[in-house]
């Protein structure tokens, strides 16, 4: 990634003064940190409620075996100010899922915020909300963004109007901090970052030209 944070020319989301209702989508074979990273940040956002949503209330196993528990089904979800769309290998099975794609599409078309993490951006693309918009995703899926009309942007986090996209996996923490800053102001985001002691140091410098084998 060439930059940490990129803004498009579209108007940024306005500061939100009332109570925030946030929904985090989870699904089988997702990468849990795409959800748990943003959850750690957004659950600390002042005057906010975070709902963990899925297609059913059945327990969900992430790609590495961690068990996640949804608290609400999509059909019963309240009006959301922010929708978090994670990624992971399970995203592939959802690319034609009408319920999930409708959830994403309706959230975006309402003008309310969508935060995609990793290959959650591809679900957003399948929902038809990336056309003509700047976006980022995991580096291994970078070449798929143009298939959905997106403008691929080499940045860890990209803000294009009400769409905030974060790059791969741990970038969801950064994306969620940006969302907290946009909706509650920089001091709130800074306090959250301090409380979770998020100050990553690069101990290693992997060669991103070497791609892992598909699972």
Q: Which residues are catalytic?
A: 118
Closest CA to 189 of 47, 44, 3: 44
Using the 8-state DSSP alphabet, how is residue 78 labeled? -
* DSSP 3-state of 10: coil
* DSSP 3-state of 76: helix
Residue 146 makes CB contacts below 8 A (sequence gap 6+) with: 152
Name the one residue in this structure whose structure tokens are 């959905």: 148
Distance between CA atoms of 119 and 209, rounded to whole angstroms? 18
Query: DSSP for 123-157?
Result: HHHHTT--TT-EE---GGGGGGGGGGT-EE--EEE
């Amino acid at each position: 990634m060439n930059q940490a944070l990129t803004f498009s020319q579209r108007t940024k989301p306005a500061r939100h003064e009332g109570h925030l209702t946030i929904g985090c989508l989870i699904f089988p074979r997702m990468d849990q940190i795409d959800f748990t990273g943003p959850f750690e940040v957004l659950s600390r956002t002042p005057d906010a409620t975070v709902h963990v949503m899925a297609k059913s209330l059945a327990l969900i196993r992430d790609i590495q075996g961690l068990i996640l528990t949804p608290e609400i089904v999509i059909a019963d979800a309240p009006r959301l100010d922010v929708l978090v769309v994670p990624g992971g290998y399970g995203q592939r099975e959802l690319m034609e899922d009408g319920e999930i794609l409708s959830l994403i599409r309706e959230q975006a078309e309402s003008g309310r915020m969508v935060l995609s993490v990793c290959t959650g951006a591809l679900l957003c693309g399948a929902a038809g909300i990336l056309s003509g918009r700047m976006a980022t995703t995991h580096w291994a899926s970078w070449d798929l963004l143009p298939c959905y009309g997106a403008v691929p942007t080499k940045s860890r986090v990209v803000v294009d109007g009400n769409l905030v996209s974060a790059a791969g996996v741990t970038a969801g923490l950064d994306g969620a901090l940006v969302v907290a800053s946009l909706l509650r102001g920089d001091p709130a985001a800074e306090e959250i970052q301090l409380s979770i002691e998020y100050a990553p140091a690069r101990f290693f410098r992997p060669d991103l030209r070497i791609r892992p084998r598909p699972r």
